[in-house]
Amino acid sequence: MTLDLAKTAGQLYAALPEMRGQWREHNDALGVALERCADVDALDTEARRAQGKTTWLAARVENGVAGAFPPPALPPDHIVVAVDGSHIDVDRHAAARCFLINIGVAALRYGEIPDADLRSEPALCADDRSLFLRDPYGVREQAVEGALLGMHRAIAEIEALADEAERAPEGLPTLALLDGTLVLWGLSGGPDFARRELIDRRFKNAMGRLRAEAERRPLAVASHISRPRSNEVMNAVRISRNVCRWEQVNCDANCGQIPAGERNCDVVAGVTDAALFARTLAPGERSQTFLSASGIVEESYGEHGVLFFYVNAGEEVARLEMPSWTSAEGVGLAHAALLAQTEKGRGYPLALQEAHEQAVVTGPDRRDFARLLYETMSEERLPAPTSQKAQSKRTRFV
């Protein structure tokens, strides 16, 4: 049985009045947000955030919220290296326990000596040391699969980006680009030994290599988020004095018993950062820079914190995340190079498009991998059990 679109269409039409009401409320809140943002006192709001107790994750707005900055000139001779990844997770129905990470790389050089290097680097992990993270000080262990494998892959992408940055021609301005966030949210609630291995050892080592490169040459490291849904900046607006209106910020104590929609800060509720900056930034402009106050960043990242800003790239407002040690010149290089890449890619950075094409693992790829795994195990006379569920998918009957 497939999806009944006739029934679904009826439900959609029935939901339209509620959707129209939500859109009107959003526009009203956006109008208030635009008025209040210009009045945000950066020092006071940061003090309220640091000393208060907030329900929402609010950015550190040390330079204020308002402000729009045009891009600097982009050097004609430059290179953009981009890395993206995909993976095949551990499958209990497969012939063997293993996972595969495929890293796609695109290095695009512009100027007098244009060049392009496109490739993928697959890595099969089937050994016990790769399949489990173990506590060196105890008996705890955690299988590398699911969300933890996603974090493992994200760090593998940063490690591959460090490799590519180190390979880039000396002296050539370079944008090193990732897709997605630099904040490893999936490790925020994980065991401490997983954070020590993935963040303290691997993440910090890769970021340290990138920082060393950025200190000796023009290099900007950035992670691009398309159509961001974050509201960290707007949450800082929510706790600002002229919106919150409480002397001390304590969301639970002050407003815990007040229904949603009646709290002081609800006048700007539901507005995303992207919606705000879509109205305040002209095409090509970027916002102020902000700092992430995420718990995993502040507790574990050390000197490699995360700054971010928003760019009106024409087709959409994108979010760019960078290491907190990035210089003003690095921010300018990332801003200018991102706009050029977005124009070349007709709305999305070209280098990331190419890296994704190299990294993607399609449905047929996954079936071929499962078949290769089974046949190889069988040829070597190794146990290659598969589940009845897996066999049923290969042999359909009526």
Q: How far is CA 331 from the centre of its chain?
A: 18
Distance CA 361, CA 357 (A): 9
The domain at 79-224+301-363 falls in which architecture? Answer: 2-Layer Sandwich (3.30)
Q: In sequence order, what are the beta bridge partners of 21?
A: none
Distance CA 46, CA 58 (A): 9
Domain spans of the chain, in order of start: 79-224+301-363
pLDDT at 388: 44
| Cβ atoms 318, 285 nearer than 8 A | no
Distance CA 275, CA 287 (A): 13
* Residue 370 confidence (pLDDT) above 90: no
What are the b/e assignments for 315-337, b being 16+ CB within 10 Å? Answer: eebbbbbbbbbbeeebbbbbbbb
pLDDT at 170: 87
Q: At 157, which amino acid appears?
A: E
pLDDT confidence tier of residue 385, bands split at 50, 70 and 90: low
Q: In sequence order, what are the beta bridge partners of 122?
A: 102
Pairing type for strands 219-225 and 174-179 reads parallel
- The chain-wide mean pLDDT, for the chain, equals 91
Six token digits for residue 158: 């940063």
pLDDT at 392: 52
**Per-residue pLDDT tens over the stretch 10-63:** 999 999 999 999 999 999 999 999 998 888 999 999 999 999 998 889 999 999
Question: By C-alpha distance, which of 150, 167, 36 is closest to 86?
Answer: 150
Give the pLDDT mean for 301-323: 96
Which string of DSSP letters, residue by residue, matches 26-39?
Answer: HHHHHHHHHHHHTT
